[in-house]
Structure 1
Amino acid sequence: MIVQAIATNVITGFLGVGKTSFIQGLLASKPSNERWAVLVNEFGEVGIDGSLLGSSDNQVQIKEVPGGCLCCAAGVPLQVAITELIRRSKPDRLLIEPTGLGHPKAIIKLLMQSQLASTLKIEQSLCLVDATKVADKRYTEHDIFQQQIQIADTVLAAKADSYQSDELKQLQQLLKAWQLEANLVPLSSINADTERFASDYQPLLHGRSAQAAHLAQSVKPAAMSVLQPVSIFADTAPQQIDFDADGCFHCSNSHDGFETASWVFDVSYEFEFDALVSWIKSLSVLRLKAVLITDEGIAAFNYVDGQLSVQELDDVMDSRLEMIADSVQQWSTITAQLQAMSKRYA
């Protein structure tokens, strides 16, 4: 039986801003006597961020929910995912990372309206923002970007050490223009400095969310009955990957005007690292994330705004890749290109 409400933080940010890396830092610096759980919502159809955050253990449980925004289908995926995670991990703190193209206002409302409201204590909501995007109307006029900042108690100016002299000021001016009172904190490029996370960023998680409370006031009481009841002991089946005869799984979908495609290759595939790097840099997509077994080891690839970062990993069960584009792509051609850059071992 849950006696004390679980401290819960929603951490948002647009595509490629560094949410997963930030959460990695929080997990590495969490108090040793606390159990934490992380719910990761991915826009694509297969999970990748779980591999980046690391494996679940007794102190940190990680659950991925791929395939679009958590708030869809009357919020049932969100309720089921959280109840399962709570049942398994009994956490002291829950971090929720919605997809960068999710609907954060709807997620906050669901957390405060559903039967989970008495189980969760909504604390500070954090939003990572790349201030170099503030001058780009494709971001500032995008409803999701606006929602992410509007629900934030703290805005983290991500990659602050790479800003030009006036870019942080432009972000400050944007918050003022939108009449937002969020705390603005510069966040330099993420590294493994756990002491820095413990001293500078862990405190930002604590305290009731003023923005969530304000948002709750605008919710009509009738909306409380929209959600279908979900048992606190609900369970969800693990994601099944149906490989074809070549050991490959591929699917694609459309969400909110964006096109997504996902691939999973079984463990027998080994990709050519140098060829992958050149190929990724040639793509015209909004975002690419991948965890791949290569001839130079296991690597995580993150490609956004023409910038590619690579991270070495210890272990994976298979190779996975996801893309997000703003127009339909020749996915079958990309599948063939990926297979051409790999060898398969029995």
Structure 2
Amino acid sequence: MIQKIIPTNVITGFLGVGKTSFIRSLLSQKPADEVWAVLVNEFGEVGIDAGLLGGETEQIQIKEVAGGCMCCAAGLPMQVAINQLIAKAKPDRLLIEPTGLGHPQEVLKVLTQAHYQQVLAMKTCITLVDARKLNDSRYTQHDIFNQQLQVADLVLASKADCYETPLIEQLSDYIMAVNNGAVTRGSNSDSNSNSSYTNAWKHRAIEPWSTKQVELLMPSIIARLNQPHEQIVNQREIQQLNGSSFVIQQPARLLDVNYSPLFSKEAKPQDVEFDGQGIMCKTKHADGFYSCGWVFDLSYEFDFDKLLHLIKSLEVIRLKAVMITEEGIAGFNSVDSELSIVELDDAMDSRIELLSMSKIDRELIEGALLSVCLRLG
């Protein structure tokens, strides 16, 4: 039986904005006597973010849901993952990172259903956004990019060390425009009355964020972490709430984590199905994006310099990788040709995932990857 209600933060942001790096920084501020759990969702079919977070410890438990938005199929993948994570970790805080192409309004709709109120206390929803992307129509015309700003209680101007203050002011103006007409559902609201809704956009907080200034910027973010999440609804929903045809649907019951064997903490992750060469490849096409991901078994060792050269040559909008090289285990994170590399402690295999707005030549890139590695033993 669940003994405590768990403070829960959803952390959103579009592709490559730095969600994983921010969560790493946030975990570094965790109180020593607390256990935190992280649920990570990825667009692609190959899970990588858990490796980039640095792996699990007794005080930090991580679970991945790969293969697209975890709120799909009536939220079942997310409910399964949350139950397994709670059963295993019994956390003092839960951080949820939806995919950059996930639907944040749907994720929050699932998490704020009545049956979760005895399990999760929804706190500040944080959205990271690179203010430089406001000049790129691929972002501003994308519904999910705008949804992420609508649901945010706190907006972090990510990579703020790379641009000037006027861009943050432009971001503030853009958020005001995006949220024009939205409303917030108050904590004492009556869903059958217009008076239960207040004007939504109260100029929610915008804070600068950079991984190069963690000690300076993090205290202000931590101070906001436990503020209650304010649910956003739009004018169409208000009309539904006041219309005679509105029907309240009963939410599905949250299964008891100590009763259902499906949600047992002993549940094992899906095995990687390698081919005869010790490789697994999965592809996906959805929402105008193509992904292609590979997993190489433990016998493959990559030449770091040649791999780095290959990664820099790939014309994709997003790349993530955890690779075993002769120089150690390296994590690669690239968006729009901005590449960061971190040294990692452990990996059970090598994984790389590419995301593009055009079809990816799977055979060509797989051949290139095989040309920069050796298969040992």
- Note whether the superposition's TM-score is higher than 0.5: yes
Q: Which segments of 5 or more consecutive residues in structure 2 lack a partner in the other structure?
A: 181-200
Question: Could you list the per-position Cα deviations for residues 189-209 of structure 1 after superposition, in whole angstroms to 9, with x for gaps in the alignment?
Answer: x1485x546523222211111
Matches within 5 A, 1:1-346: 1-113=1-113, 115-178=115-178, 179=180, 180=201, 181-188=203-210, 190-191=211-212, 193=214, 195-196=215-216, 199-211=219-231, 222=247, 224-225=249-250, 227=252, 230-232=255-257, 233=260, 234-235=263-264, 236-346=267-377
Q: The residue matched to 1:118 in structure 2 has which SS?
A: coil
In the TM superposition, residue 212 of structure 1 has moved relative to its aligned partner by 5.4
Q: The residue matched to 2:291 in structure 1 has which SS?
A: strand
Question: Could you list the per-position Cα deviations for residues 154-185 of structure 1 after superposition, in whole angstroms to 9, with x for gaps in the alignment?
Answer: 00000111104531221121122234422000
Letter of the 2:81 counterpart? A
Letter of the 2:82 counterpart? I
In the TM superposition, residue 337 of structure 1 has moved relative to its aligned partner by 0.9
How many residues end up aligned between the 2 structures? 343
Contact 1:267/1:318, CA 8 A, preserved across alignment? yes
Q: The residue matched to 1:121 in structure 2 has which SS?
A: strand
Larger Rg: 2
Q: The residue matched to 2:117 in structure 1 has which SS?
A: helix
TM-score (norm 1): 0.93
Contact 1:247/1:266, CA 8 A, preserved across alignment? yes
Contact 2:115/2:253, CA 8 A, preserved across alignment? no
Question: Residues 325, 114 of structure 1: CA spacing in aligned structure 2 closer, same or farther, 3 A cutoff?
Answer: farther
In the TM superposition, residue 114 of structure 1 has moved relative to its aligned partner by 5.9
Partners of 2:161 and 2:286 in 1: CA distance: 33
Letter of the 2:147 counterpart? Q
Contact 2:116/2:254, CA 8 A, preserved across alignment? no
Moved more, 76-85 or 280-289: 280-289
Contact 1:122/1:212, CA 8 A, preserved across alignment? no
Q: The residue matched to 1:284 in structure 2 has which SS?
A: coil
Contact 2:115/2:251, CA 8 A, preserved across alignment? no
Letter of the 2:39 counterpart? L
Contact 1:25/1:197, CA 8 A, preserved across alignment? no
Letter of the 2:141 counterpart? E
**Matched-pair identity in %:** 49
In the TM superposition, residue 27 of structure 1 has moved relative to its aligned partner by 0.7
Q: The residue matched to 2:310 in structure 1 has which SS?
A: helix
Question: Could you list the per-position Cα deviations for residues 120-162 of structure 1 after superposition, in whole angstroms to 9, with x for gaps in the alignment?
Answer: 1100000000000112221111100001000000000001111
Letter of the 1:210 counterpart? E
Question: Residues 299, 206 of structure 1: CA spacing in aligned structure 2 closer, same or farther, 3 A cutoff?
Answer: same
Letter of the 2:206 counterpart? L
Moved more, 245-254 or 147-156: 245-254
TM-score (norm 2): 0.85
- The CA RMSD measured in Å over matched residues stands at 2.2
Partners of 2:216 and 2:337 in 1: CA distance: 29
Letter of the 1:172 counterpart? S
Partners of 2:95 and 2:325 in 1: CA distance: 31
Q: The residue matched to 2:23 in structure 1 has which SS?
A: helix
